[in-house]
Structure formats: structure tokens, C-alpha cells
Structure 1
Amino acid sequence: MYLKGIDKPERNDDGGERGPGMEVFTQNARLFSPITRALDPSQNEREMAHWFVLYNSSEVEPYIEEQKNILHNVQGRDISRVQREEFPKWFKNRMNDLRTKGSPEATDELWSLANGPGSVIDFYSGCIYNGIRFHTRNRENRRTCQNSGLVVEGDHNGNQINFYGYLCKIWELKYLHGGTVVLFQCEWYDTGHKNRIYSDEHVTSIDVTRLWYEDDQFVLPCQEKMRAQQSKILAGINSITDDGLVGRRKYKEAAELAVESPQGILRTSDTVAKFQSVPMQAGQTPPLLQYFGTLLTRGKLNAFESLELSRLFVNQNKKNLLENWLAEDKLECSEELGDLVKTVDNDLALKIYIKARVTPKVVTAFAEKREFDKILIHSKQVTCLCNYNHSNMFCFVDLQSSCPSCILWFSLTIN
């Protein structure tokens, strides 16, 4: 991660400043907890890792461009795919040829990189880089503190997007002349469709049912570009799961984790569903209410949370609590919340519509109350009825269906 101005606790010391040499060989990553019974990677995984290291080494870029220019002369081929398959061998031959000729261009580091890592690869379940601790997902199965989530910026169809995923395995590749490279092997959630990721000012919700980029699983620790506060999200992205804090009945801890997650990335419908699914224990506050209670003590609920909490109390006809929360600005008003509350209290629903700026329903509500003067007052605050814009046209449609006599009043008043 690229983090500045953060004091690194001694426990998360990564070994100090980066030394001289090729950037890929000088990452200050401190590995711990070796995996002693790891399965040998497949040949495809080895080739994928080798290509990734070459492609992400700045010192190799001139050679990648050189070969790309050669391939441009070949018609009818996907150059990116061909280069991925053929560049490692081409680069190895190029460096070996330069080495044979005694060219200073083929430095020890560049030559060892071209010839690839050794056959023995070490695997670890933990790593500290730039003062941030990372764990593999398997390591965290029975842990409260979670550090396996990753957010990495990358290219998708020519656009820079955030890739969200989990750290599966940490590789240590060993090269001739003592060079080593640390790689994170990951699984990425498919967020390529707008229905699989939702973001607003409070929440980023991700569909975790599908994976993508399964042939592009690796990142270097230095490519993990989350901001400092985002590392906190990913430290806990696994915690609110059936085998995590909710599963172990640590409801308050799970709620606090969601509250503290930067940008509210853990404050999602999935989290609410997990609390809803927990059976109630006799004599104890329901887990879902513990969750909402923790959120309310820390600040304002987002639109989804406001709707779900209100649903609980509307069903119990405890609208006085809703009134208090609205007065304290603890709920985010929305049209959906207004529709829900309208089933028990029209006046309270009207307040919600006004706060949510749902002009058509505000106008309809005032018309139903025969408070026509307030319609004009409200409309002037949000828009001008005389302009007959789209919003007002919808208002008149609603009025015509709910209060036909209001149309005559409006005609006389506006004229």
C-alpha cells in the first residue's frame, strides 16, 4: 500500500527502507507463518506468476515494447495474448544472448529475472508490507481480526476500476543471485456489471457470488493502493460471516466493525440479513436491534438501514421512536421510508417526503389535507409551479387522481 504519515507499530515492522536494485527485488515485505503442506502450483500458475513479474517490472518494459513492435508486423493475431505466451521465452533468449556476448545490458538481476524463478516456491499465510498486516483467507477462518481483503486498481476494458477480492496465498519466488519476489495470489469478485456493485456516500455493496479474471490472479504488495482507511475495511471484510463474529454471537463487536468500516463498505443488506437470520435468545435484545443500536449511537443510518429499522417499529406501531430519530436526524429519509410510514401516520410520512424532496408525494399529501396554500409554499422552495416542469406535471397527475377539485383551485390561484 502507498500510505503516508502513518506511524508503524513495531509489531508490523516490514524491515525498513527499500534497498538499491530492481524494484521488484527490493520490496520490504516481511513474511511469516509458512505453509508447510501447500500443494505444488500447477505449471499454468507458475507461468502466470512468471509473466506477471516480468510484465510489472519497470526495467523490463523496454523489452516488452520491443517485442510488441515486432509482433505488430504479424497480421490476424491478438498481440496481448501472444505476448503473454511468447514474451517470457523471447526475453530469456534475448538476455542469454546478451550475456554470452558480455554485454553490460544483461545485468545479473535482469538476467536472473529473465531465466525465471527456481522450481521450489515457498508459501506463507501472513505478510507485513508498508506497516500493514495481510493474512490469507484460510488463516482467518477462526480469527476475529481479519486482514485478507484487497482492493487493487486495475484496467478493465480500457477503464481504471477497483478490483475487490481476497488474498488466497502468498508466494515467495527465488531467483539466481539471491533475488526474491513476493506475490499475492487472489480471487477477484466480478463487479463488471452495474448490478453487482452499488456505491453511494455511505455504502459500497458487492455481489460476492461470482469471480472473474481467474487467469490474472496475482498482484505485488506495492500494487495494493488502498488508502489508509480502506485497509481497515479489508481487515474486517470476512468478519461478519456465518463462521465469523455473528456466528460466534459477538454481535456488538460485529456491529462496531461495520460501523467503523471506512465508506461504510460493511454496512450492507448482507450484513443486516445475517443479523436478521440469528434466532432470538430468551431475555436478550434481538441481535438486529443490537446492530441498529450500535449504529445509532455512532451517527446516522443510511437509507437502507433507516428503512429496515423503521419496518421493525412500524410493525409494532411504535411511531414515537421514529419521530424521535427523525427529530435527531438519525434516519436518512427516502420515498420508500415515507411510503412505509404512511401506512400508520400520514403526517409523519409527509415530513419524510419533504426531507427526501419527493415533491409529487408532498403535493399530493398537502392536497389530501386541503392545505393548498402549503403546496405553493413548498413548490416555491423546491421549484416553481408556473414553469410547468416535469416534476410539476407529475404533481398535477397525482392531484387529478386523488383530488380533482384541487385542479380548479390551482387554476384560479396561479392565474
Structure 2
Amino acid sequence: MLLVGTSETKRGHAIGIMQLYSMENKVSQVLPGHAGAFAKMNPPGRTGEAQVLVFAGSNGEGQPIQLFGMEVPEVGCVFHLQPKAIAFATEAQNDFPVAMNVSPGDDIAYMITKMGYLFLFDAHSGKMVYRACVMQDTPFVTCLDSKSKGVLGITRRGQLLNFAINRTKLVPYVLNTLHDPQLALALASRMDLPGAEELFVPEFSRLVSVNDVQSAARLAASSPQGVLRSPQTIEIFKKMPDQLNQPQPILQYFSILLEKGTLNKLESIELVRCVLRQGRSSMLKQWLLEDKLDYSEELGDAVAKFNPMLALPVYLRAAVPEKVIHSFVQSLSKQSGLQDPRPLIHLCDRYDFVDELTQYLYSNNLLNSID
């Protein structure tokens, strides 16, 4: 819980005081600030989400924006953001924040001030992304807009406001106006934005040249629109030299991709071939359970070379009924025919493959198997 109050100094400056209260631990902490918002983020170095408080205001000596975690961090994982001064406009030096919202996933902090200025900050670095005077009135209430990932607000005069990022123009703006390629790279990666392709390719090449497998893999995995998730990238990791006491570079790359979500068709095939050649079929079973692969006939073919029965669920999900039947027959039949056709019949009936089963049995002279 966060309570905010404002007082005035003898010189007429507004001072913000916030009380942060933990409902779980029944303790409170006083913080200097005018506005704050809770958010869940994935700071670098952590394997899971972190609950954080982003707040801004005055401590009597300036107007900083700050971030700190609301939980005990993992060992070695620091996500506390040192206070960074807010660059108020020259004509608004006595201005102060009155509203703060953090867009989930994007991790962009939207801050609105008493004099009607809108600020956008990168919550990971505290860098200011944008500033503009957008209203002549003070907002009465604000909230996140789940559809646009922006902010909705109402002023004291009843004016409805809606602010959101133009996602196609943010990265070019950061590059050409703010001249901050590092910030552009971070935003493009986190928000999956276009416009930074020319930054990712040379940075990836640099990391590969120094054999920094983990950094190169994370950069490729997080590249916007999957610009680096290509056949060429897979070949590059295949050719990188092995590291002492570390998995093969290609497996490190696929491992990071799996952390982020589902593999595409080519990645699925390459990974499955790699682990099955090493006899690690248990890993494939786990990925099938977690639905981490792109199911295709080609993936089923790659699995079938090592384990026809394991290929069966792949063919099922890829909707290749003929090969579902073939894999089943390969696994449970002898040269003379099926020992017990009932499991196959039940399977085909369940998935509406009866016509395909009949055609397969007829073409392979196995109709006598179901007499």
C-alpha cells in the first residue's frame, strides 16, 4: 500500500512524502516522493519477476526518479535503481509529479506533473525517453490502458486524456533525437519494436567474435521480430567452439529460446535432432508436455528416425494422420501384421482418422489384421 501527501516549504516549494506499508509484514517506511506505482518487471540477472516500486518526487534537494525491489533479491541479482534527476523544462522548474503509472511488459513509466507535462522513462535504466507539455490542467485521476499499454486520465475540468507510445516510431526517435543506441537496443529488445535491426546484427557479430555465447544467444533470442532467429544464426552457433564445462553453444542458444517461449519450425527440428543424437529423449518428452515446439511433419520425421512411438504425438499435433498410423504400426507390429489392432483402432477413432486407417491397411495389405 502506498499513501502520498504533499506539504509546502517556507519558500513555496512542494515537498512530497510517501508512506509505504506492507500488509504482510505490518510495517511501514517513509519515502520522499510525490507519486509512485507498483510494477512487476524482469530485470537483467533475474530468472523471475520482481515486484518493484517506481516513484518520483522531491527530497528537498532535487526531483529524482527511483526504483527499488519490494522483495529480498536473489543472490547477486541487483535491481535497485539509483536516483536519477528529472529534467524538468526550463519554464517549469517548480513543477512536481502528481501521477505515475508503469506499463506492464513494456516497463515504461508514465509520469504526469501538476503543470501538465508528460514524461516517459525507461524503468530499467531511469533514462528519460520523452517529455512534452500535453495539457493546461492538472490530472485528477489516471490509470493504465490495457489495450494500448498507455495511460488514461481525467483532468479537474473533466477532460479525458489518452496517452500511448507509437510503437513504430519509438526506436527511430531514440536513435535520431536522443542519440542513445544503447537505450534503443534495450527498448527494441524488450518491447519487440522495429527500427533497430542495424544495431542488432553488428552487436551480435561482435559477441560471436569474442566467443561470448551467453550474451550472443540472449541478444539473438530477444531480437525484435525475430530478426536474428534465422537459419544463419543456428549455423553460427553450431560452428562456435565448445566452452569448458558448458553445454554446446547451439544448446545454450536453444535453452535461452525455450526460456522465452515456443521455438519456431526450424529451431524445433534442429534442437530435436541434436538431443536425440545424444540419446536424450527424456528432454523431448518434457518439451512435448510443455508445448514448447512447433509441430510439423518434418519434425515428426526427425523424431521417427530415432523413436517412431515418440513421433506419434508430433504427427498428431501436426495433423498428419497417415504418419500417425504408420508410426503406430511401426511400433506395435511385426512383419506379418499387427498383434493387437485394437489400440490403433481406438486411436484413429478418437482423432477421426478411420478413413486414413482403412486406406493405410488396404495399401499395405494389412486388412487381415482387423479380422
TM-score after normalising by structure 2? 0.45
Instruction: Compare relative contact order (CA 8 Å, sep 6+) and give the higher one, 1 or 2.
Output: 1
Q: Which has the higher helix share?
A: 1
TM-score after normalising by structure 1? 0.41
